[in-house]
Structure 1
C-alpha cells in the first residue's frame, strides 16, 4: 500500500457521556467499522444473542454489517440517573480492511487504560472536531497508530502472567475506574479485594507506582478535562460529574496539573 495515500478514514469520532438511561440498536450493523472504548461506568451489549456487560477498559470491535446493540441503565426508567462514558470511532478504508483480516478479531476485549492509549483516542476525536482545519492524512495515521496500540495491548494483556497480588491490584484499579463518580474511600477499595487498608495501599503503590488517592484524583482530572473539551457541560457540572465535590479543590488541582484554569483550558481547545 502506498503510504502517501489515505488508507484509514475516520468518518465519525467523539466522546459520549450519558447521565440518563440510553438504548441503541442497529441489527443490520453499520457500513463502517466501529471501535468503542468504555472509559467510565458500565453499559451492556449483545453478542451472539447473549447480554454482555461492558466495564471500564472494555473495547468493542465491530466490522461492517455486524449487529450492534447498546444499553445503558434501564431505558424504561429515564429519570433514573446513570453514569457512563466512552470514546467511539466509525472508520473504514483499505488499510483497516487489511488490519481486520490480519487476525481473528474479538468482538469484545479488555485493555489497560494507560495514558498512551487514552491520549490516542482523545487525539483522534479532537482532530475530527477541527472544523474546516481537518487533515485526513493526520487522522489516517493517528487511527493506524491507535489500531496498532490496540493490538499490542491485547497481546500484552492476554500473554501476561498475572500473580494473585497483581490481579488484586488490577481489580482495585478497575473498581476505582468503575466507581470514580461516587464517593470513594480507601476502605471501599480495600474491601473490594478483601484486604486491609494498609495492605491494599502498599500493593497498589507497588504495582502502579502511585498511591490510591493519587490515582483517584488523576482519573477524575482526566474525565473532567474530557468533558470540558468535548461536551457542553458547565465547568461546575464537568467537575461534579467526574467525582469532585468541591469546585475550589477541583480548580486548584486542575490548574496545578494543566497550568491553566478550567475556563482557559476550554478556551484553548475551541
Structure 2
C-alpha cells in the first residue's frame, strides 16, 4: 500500500518558515525549480538552489527557510508505504543531488498533483500508486546518472537521452554536442570512448528496434516504416538492416 500525504507545487516571494520538530513521519521529496532557499536537515544547514533534489526519510528533522527578498519555487511530495521503504533501502539516497529539470520528470510530478486534487469519488488509487512508483524510479535513475561515481560522464548520458528522444527524426551531431554543452570534436570522442559506438550507430540501434516493432505489429509498408523510423527511405533502411541482421527487411518480416 502506498500513501501520499501531500503533493503540490509551492512558490514563495515572502519570508517563509516551516519545520518538523519531532521528525518527519513520511518520506519527503522536494525539487527546487526556481530561486533558492535554505533547509536544515538533522542540524545541517544546506543552501538549496535551482535543480537541487532533496530526499529525506521518516524520522529526520527538517526545516525550510525562505528569507525576505528570496524567491523560491519547488515541487514537493510526502509519501509512505511498504514499497517506498523497499525502494529507499535498496540503494543509498543522498540527501541533496543536483539534477537536470527534465520536463518528462516534471510532467510526471504534475500528473500526481492533478490526480491527488480529484475529489474522493473520482480518485484512482491504483493509478496514483503506479505514478508514484514511476516518479521514484525516475528520480533514482536521475540521481544515479548525475553521481560522480557513475560509470560514464554525465555529459554522455545527456547525449544518449537526446539521441533516444530524437532518433526517429533527423538530427545533427552538432545539435547533440550543443545540447551537452560540448564542442563537436569533444562530444564525438567522449561518446565513442564511453559508449563504444558512435552517435549514429547508437541512433541506428534505436531506429532498427523501432522498425522491427513496426514490422511485427503494424501493416505499414516497408517504405513507410523506413520513413517513420528515421532512415529517410527504403534503400538505406535495407542496407543498414541487412548489414545488422544478415537478411533483408522483407525476408525478416515474412518469417515473423
Give the TM bin, normalised by the shorter chain: 0.5 to 0.7
**Residues 204, 46 of structure 1: alpha-carbon distance in 2 compared, 3 angstrom cutoff:** farther
Distance 1:162 1:146 in 2: 20
TM-score (norm 2): 0.58
Is the counterpart of residue 109 in structure 1 residue 97 in structure 2?
yes
Aligned residues: 160
Distance 1:88 1:124 in 2: 11
Is the counterpart of residue 136 in structure 1 residue 125 in structure 2?
yes
Contact 1:46–1:68 under 8 Å retained in 2: yes
**Residues 48, 12 of structure 1: alpha-carbon distance in 2 compared, 3 angstrom cutoff:** closer
Matched residue SS, 2:133:
helix
Distance 2:44 2:78 in 1: 24
Distance 2:180 2:153 in 1: 16
Q: 2:24 aligns with which of 8, 30, 34?
A: 30
Contact 1:9–1:139 under 8 Å retained in 2: no
Map of 1:1-270 to 2, 5 A cutoff?
7-74=1-68, 81-132=69-120, 133-158=122-147, 159=150, 160-161=152-153, 206-207=178-179
Distance 2:76 2:52 in 1: 12
Contact 2:51–2:100 under 8 Å retained in 1: yes
Distance 1:18 1:86 in 2: 9
Distance 2:34 2:176 in 1: 20
Distance 2:19 2:175 in 1: 41
Matched residue SS, 2:34:
strand
TM-score (norm 1): 0.55
Distance 2:154 2:142 in 1: 15
Return the offset for 1:203.
Answer: 9.9
**Residues 95, 87 of structure 1: alpha-carbon distance in 2 compared, 3 angstrom cutoff:** same
Greater relative contact order: 1 or 2 (C-alpha under 8 angstroms, separation 6 or more)?
1
Contact 2:41–2:60 under 8 Å retained in 1: no
Give 4+ residue runs of structure 1 displaced > 3 Å after superposition: 202-205
Larger Rg: 2
Gaps of at least 5 residues in structure 2 are: 159-173, 182-256
